[in-house]
Amino acid sequence: MKFIHEEFMLENTSASRLYHEYAEKQPIIDYHCHLDPQEISEDKSWENITQVWLYGDHYKWRAMRSNGIDERFCTGTASDWEKFKSFSEIMPFLLRNPLYHWSHLELARSFKIDNLLLSEKTAQEVWDRSSEILQDGLSARQLMKNNNVLAVCTTDDPADSLEHHIKISESESFTRVLPTWRPDNALAIEKESWPGYIRRLSEVSDTDISSYDDLIESLSKRHRFFHDTGCRLSDHSLETFFITDYNAKEVRNIFTKAVAGKSVSIEESRKFKTALMLEFGRMDAEKGWTKQMHIGALRNNSSRMYNILGPDSGFDSIDDQPVARPLGRLLDMLDRENSLPKTILYNLNPKDNEVIATMIGNFQDGRIAGKIQFGSGWWFMDQKNGIERQIEALSQLGSLGRFVGMLTDSRSFLSYSRHEYFRRILCSIIGRDMEAGMIPDDFQLAGKLVEDICYGNASRYFGFDLNQD
């Protein structure tokens, strides 16, 4: 039997029916990803599978390093063939790792290779067959079309021009490509690069940023520009939540100190970030946006490799800082002034699953169904066990039927198979409960739940006004 087949990961007949009748054909709204909008605008194509599969994929690099593969074959000067062959060689050692599932799903769905297990023995055949597909015109937009992607939201800095989003919106496109406001650089007051970033922000916003009030004016201008370009979501990547009492005079003085290139203390940094996070919340609420907050990553642990390769190169891990009290306080401060936007919370440490699942119930306002969301399993939790644990916590402590579902959080155009992966796991969970008598044996009822989680809830929640015709 083929490894990737019609019933892959579907544990029983109920799961199979739910997937094939209710989940499989649903369109994709990929509301958080790290795709390069320029590659979509220019409809990027690739010469070989390494370029589309291994370039920029820190998941695969980590696995290769763990299996004794030299850095030259990960991010270094080895040829594309050598890099692909090296990755192929380690695949038999990745059984039970989600990369084994993802990789074979991607080969099956994007390259029609479902009769081979990737290994050193099959590397040449997979290379040749995938090259034929790529040379036949498999491009960025074609991959999105093949996967029935109706919308993607990229991740963009407030200082970005959004020129490629604008070009895409002016072209004939079956997929909406929208920016996402990610102001992490504006928050990073403790970094040496921060004054330079403020100068860049000053230029693009045509605002002389010489005070904290000027900074807020500049960011507000860029926020409006993002909104006019179609943006409806913001995103923050946070190690944890930093909520500290402050007053306006303190924050203005901290800004003046930092913009002059002087170092700030941890306490000063937290006060500044608290003030700015509240401002961002107000901006999002005023525009009707959805705020996303990703918490729990401990980044760039290897200073040696960071100095060589920089960030996002596969040296991050799960952090274990406490989140409940500062998160509750942040949400409460915004809620008190009626400035709490729709919010999705993603935690990276599974110890916080029940914390997040109960926290979202504190700030539902009875006006927007599922206003505060417990986001899908993220990064290291984007695998079978992590997805199941997130769904279990949300089911028991919240309302699974309002869940806005899966996203890729990826830099790769091949990663849409992660939506299929999620949908198969979801259907197995619901099918298992149906056959155990834990929920009614009613496919109309359970199927509606599956359809909503796969597509319908996201379509309504984000208000993209998508047309499937």
Confidence at residue 172, expressed as pLDDT on a 0 to 100 scale: 79
Structure pTM? 0.96
Going by C-alpha positions, the residue among 351, 287, 292 that lies closest to residue 318 is 351
Q: Give CA–CA dist 46/58, Å, rounded.
A: 19
Q: From first to last of the 469 residues of the chain, give the pLDDT tens digit.
A: 799 999 999 999 999 999 999 999 999 999 999 999 999 999 999 999 999 999 999 999 999 999 999 999 999 999 999 999 999 999 999 999 999 999 999 999 999 999 999 999 999 999 999 999 999 989 999 999 999 999 999 999 999 999 999 999 998 777 999 999 999 999 999 999 999 999 999 999 999 999 999 999 999 999 999 999 999 999 999 988 878 999 999 999 999 999 999 999 999 999 999 999 999 999 999 999 999 999 999 999 999 999 999 988 999 999 999 999 999 999 999 999 999 999 999 999 999 999 999 999 999 999 999 999 999 999 999 999 999 999 999 999 999 999 999 999 999 999 999 999 999 999 999 999 999 999 999 999 999 999 999 999 999 999 876 554 3
Q: Angle between the 417-435 and 443-451 helix axes, to the nearest 10 degrees?
A: 150
Helix or strand (DSSP H, E) at 248: helix 248-259
Give the Å distances, CA to CA, from 400 to 352, 391, 411. Answer: 17, 7, 28
Confidence at residue 468, expressed as pLDDT on a 0 to 100 scale: 43
Query: Which two tokens mark 83?
Result: 């890099």
Give the Å distances, CA to CA, from 438 to 122, 188, 351. Answer: 44, 48, 26
Confidence at residue 203, expressed as pLDDT on a 0 to 100 scale: 97
Confidence at residue 312, expressed as pLDDT on a 0 to 100 scale: 86
Query: How many CB atoms within 10 Å of residue 312?
Result: 13
Only one residue has tokens 């110890």, namely 351
Q: Give CA–CA dist 422/8, Å, rounded.
A: 12
In sequence order, which residues have a C-beta less than 8 Å from that of residue 24 and are 6 or more positions away?
A: 420, 423
Q: Residues 182, 61: contact at Cβ < 8 Å?
A: no
Confidence at residue 469, expressed as pLDDT on a 0 to 100 scale: 36
Only one residue has tokens 């109706």, namely 150
Give the Å distances, CA to CA, from 51 to 81, 120, 291, 348. Answer: 10, 19, 33, 28
Confidence at residue 465, expressed as pLDDT on a 0 to 100 scale: 61
Going by C-alpha positions, the residue among 68, 54, 156 that lies closest to residue 106 is 54
